[in-house]
């Protein structure tokens, strides 16, 4: 049997890594600009961490988790998302005693047993951030502003739309749920099988169903936004006003439900129409009940996560070229004696900070020049017998196809200027 990767899991290859680094570095910088510290949490947690937070009647917990028994029989799960683990860590490390407000971001691989397609994988990367300890609507707006600034910074601001809604809280949501249930019971026969089941377990999920029939019935369902209590209305209004005050555009989409049960009040998605069915590139919201649910003190919180693969796909559509990692200087040599010199020279120039490549394979100068060209090197240094003696080498400018001679000092100076 030929060995291969697992369905839904993929490699990120060298030709794409420059773009990945570009996007990830921008995301980290955005988080740090807004005062978030990185947290690294395990990929594996007790299943309970996810089951208790994401919600038993969600797609993730019902059918998407990679769950298995550890050797001692305890049930473990590969993280399907980051928030649950971050909250577990926040509680376990009593972070609430350290500061009234804690801001954390994370990045890493998530695992969901979904049907793989473009922009949807079983193993995928997310970057996410959480603010603990603030109930203020400005915190929701600040988090959104950070994400918006990130998309702007990588040239995608025109490709994404911010959609916003509120899911209410413990005060107004239960009554809304009942209203929704009553409405859908009247249409039970028209709902898909999954939604008929959701009717009893989690009627909100029906609003998120992708089946045509269910979408049609959902259109006339009562809306959470029309049924918010006064506090939730006020909170939502302040979020919108805060966004208005800094000029961040948004669309109200009362149909946002989110695939996780822990959300309260503000929910949002950054969507694109350039990726087909997988249109959400980032999503998040407020989850004021989760810290307490996982054993901590009552702590309001708001957070988000974005899928890096989808952002990479979108970024490629919008800016197709220019993110390949390139060599700065390629060293070619002529003759065996020059080979030693090439080896030493590569070592010395690298210490000036430039990216240097050389091939010690004893190939002809012509084939070395071909490799130099392919490496995308800005310059090629050519060392032959003459150059060995004189200490002056030929420097070829690959962009301008011109050549001139340079001494060692000049070469090192050039290398340090190329340093990236
Ligand atoms: P979707 O509606 O597309 O299934 P979701 O609501 O399940 O998304 P979240 O759990 O909110 O997504 O995760 C946040 C982000 O992570 C999504 O907006 C998306 O960019 C990304 N994401 C989610 N699931 C996948 C997946 N299977 N493959 C790649 N990226 C994903
Ligand atoms: Mg999903």
Per-residue pLDDT 10s for the chain (420 aa) are: 899 999 999 999 999 999 999 999 999 999 999 999 999 999 999 999 999 998 887 889 989 999 999 999 999 999 999 999 999 999 999 999 999 999 999 999 999 999 999 999 999 999 999 999 999 999 999 999 999 999 999 999 999 999 999 999 999 999 999 999 999 999 999 999 999 998 988 898 899 888 999 999 999 999 999 999 999 999 999 999 999 999 999 999 998 988 778 899 999 999 999 998 889 999 999 999 999 999 999 999 999 999 999 999 999 999 999 998 889 999 999 988 899 999 999 999 999 889 999 988 878 999 999 999 999 999 999 999 888 888 899 999 999 999 999 998 899 999 999 876
- Can you give the pLDDT at residue 420? 65
The three-class DSSP label of residue 129 is: strand
- Can you give the pLDDT at residue 389? 87
Tokens of residue 50, six digits:
């996810």
Query: Which ligand approaches the C-alpha of residue 285 most closely?
Result: 1
The DSSP symbol for 190 reads G
Q: How far is the CA of 374 from the centre of ligand 2 (A)?
A: 40
Q: Is 259 in the pocket of ligand 1 (CB under 6 A)?
A: yes
Rounded to a whole number of angstroms, the CA Rg of the chain reads 27
Q: How far is the CA of 112 from the centre of ligand 2 (A)?
A: 8
Q: Where are the beta strands (DSSP E) in 25-122?
A: 37-38, 44-46, 66-69, 75-78, 102-111
**Sheet architecture: strand order including 264-271:** 37-38, 102-111, 123-132, 301-307, 280-286, 264-271, 161-166, 251-252
Question: Rounded to an integer, what distance in angstroms lies between the CA atom of residue 413 and that of residue 420?
Answer: 14
- The answer to whether 48 and 88 are in contact (CB under 8 A) is no
Q: How far is the CA of 126 from the centre of ligand 2 (A)?
A: 13
- Can you give the pLDDT at residue 259? 74
Question: Rounded to an integer, what distance in angstroms lies between the CA atom of residue 31 and that of residue 129?
Answer: 8
Q: Count CA atoms closer than 13 A to 190's CA, side-chain side.
A: 12
Pick the residue whose CA is nearest to atom 7 on ligand 1.
259
In the chain, how long is the greatest CA-to-CA distance? 92
Q: Is 208 in the pocket of ligand 1 (CB under 6 A)?
A: no
Tokens of residue 350, six digits:
């690298």
Tokens of residue 42, six digits:
């395990």
* Nearest atom, ligand 1, residue 270 CA: 18
Q: Is 112 in the pocket of ligand 1 (CB under 6 A)?
A: yes
Residues with Cβ < 8 Å from 224, sequence gap 6 or more? 165, 166, 167, 168, 172, 173, 176, 254
Task: Specify whether domain 329-418 bears CATH 3.40.50.360.
Answer: no
Q: What is the pTM of this model?
A: 0.92
- Can you give the pLDDT at residue 143? 98
The helix (H) or strand (E) run that includes residue 331 is strand 329-333
- Return the CATH fold of 14-172+228-318: BirA Bifunctional Protein; domain 2 (3.30.930)
The domain spans of the chain are 14-172+228-318, 329-418
- The answer to whether 337 and 388 are in contact (CB under 8 A) is yes
Question: Rounded to an integer, what distance in angstroms lies between the CA atom of residue 27 and that of residue 106?
Answer: 10
Pick the residue whose CA is nearest to atom 24 on ligand 1.
120
Which of 108, 278, 308, 313 is the best mutation target for the ligand 1 pocket, counting ligand atoms within 8 Å of the beta carbon and taking the most?
278
Q: Is 310 in the pocket of ligand 1 (CB under 6 A)?
A: yes
* Nearest atom, ligand 1, residue 284 CA: 11
* Nearest atom, ligand 1, residue 80 CA: 10
Nearest CA-CA partner of 12 in 323, 354, 359? 323
Q: How far is the CA of 125 from the centre of ligand 1 (A)?
A: 10
Tokens of residue 200, six digits:
């009893």
**Terminus-to-terminus CA distance in the chain, angstroms?**
44
Q: How far is the CA of 120 from the centre of ligand 1 (A)?
A: 8
Q: Is 283 in the pocket of ligand 1 (CB under 6 A)?
A: yes
- The answer to whether 394 and 368 are in contact (CB under 8 A) is no
Question: Rounded to an integer, what distance in angstroms lies between the CA atom of residue 129 and that of residue 115?
Answer: 26
Q: Is 114 in the pocket of ligand 1 (CB under 6 A)?
A: yes
Nearest CA-CA partner of 139 in 214, 239, 54, 14? 239
How many CB atoms within 10 Å of residue 208? Answer: 19
Note the pLDDT tens digit of each residue in 276-306. Answer: 888 999 999 999 999 999 999 999 999 999 9
Question: Rounded to an integer, what distance in angstroms lies between the CA atom of residue 348 and that of residue 44?
Answer: 44
Q: Are strands 44-46 and 75-78 parallel, antiparallel or unpaired?
A: antiparallel
- Can you give the pLDDT at residue 255? 87
Q: Is 195 in the pocket of ligand 1 (CB under 6 A)?
A: no
């Amino acid at each position: 049997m030929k060995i291969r990767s697992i369905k839904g899991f993929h490699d990120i290859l060298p030709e794409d890594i420059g773009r990945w680094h570009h996007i990830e570095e921008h995301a980290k910088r955005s988080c740090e600009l807004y005062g978030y510290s990185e947290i690294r949490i395990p990929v594996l947690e007790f299943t309970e961490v996810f089951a208790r937070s994401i919600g038993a009647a969600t797609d993730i917990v019902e059918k998407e988790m990679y769950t298995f028994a550890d050797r001692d029989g305890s049930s473990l799960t590969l993280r399907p998302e980051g928030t649950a683990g971050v909250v577990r860590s926040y509680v376990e490390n009593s972070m609430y005693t350290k500061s009234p407000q804690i801001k954390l971001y994370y990045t890493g691989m998530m695992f969901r047993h979904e049907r793989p397609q473009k922009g949807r994988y079983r193993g995928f990367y997310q970057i996410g951030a959480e603010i603990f300890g603030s109930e203020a609507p400005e915190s929701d707006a600040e988090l959104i502003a950070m994400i918006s600034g990130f998309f702007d910074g990588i040239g995608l601001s025109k490709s994404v739309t911010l959609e916003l809604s509120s899911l209410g809280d413990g005060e107004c949501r239960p009554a809304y749920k009942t209203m929704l249930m009553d409405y859908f019971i009247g249409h039970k026969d028209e709902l898909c099988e999954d939604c008929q089941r959701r009717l009893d377990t989690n009627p909100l999920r029906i609003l998120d169903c992708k089946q045509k029939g269910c979408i049609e019935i959902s259109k006339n369902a009562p809306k959470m936004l029309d049924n918010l209590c006064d506090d939730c209305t006020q909170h939502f209004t302040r979020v919108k006003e805060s966004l208005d005050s800094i000029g961040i555009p948004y669309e109200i989409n009362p149909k946002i439900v989110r695939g996780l049960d822990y959300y309260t009040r503000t929910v949002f998605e950054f969507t694109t129409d350039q990726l087909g069915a997988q249109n959400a590139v980032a999503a998040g919201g407020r989850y004021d009940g989760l810290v307490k649910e996982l054993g901590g003190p009552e702590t309001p919180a708001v957070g988000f996560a974005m899928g890096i693969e989808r952002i990479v796909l979108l970024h490629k559509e919008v800016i197709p070229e220019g993110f390949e990692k390139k060599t700065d200087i390629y060293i070619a040599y002529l003759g065996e004696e020059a080979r030693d010199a090439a080896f030493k020279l590569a070592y010395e120039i690298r210490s000036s900070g430039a990216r240097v490549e050389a091939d010690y394979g004893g190939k002809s100068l012509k084939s070395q020049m071909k490799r130099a060209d392919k490496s995308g090197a800005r310059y090629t240094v050519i060392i032959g017998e003459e150059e060995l003696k004189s200490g002056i080498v030929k420097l070829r400018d690959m962009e301008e196809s011109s050549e001139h001679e340079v001494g060692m000092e000049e070469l090192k100076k050039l290398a340090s200027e190329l340093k990236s």
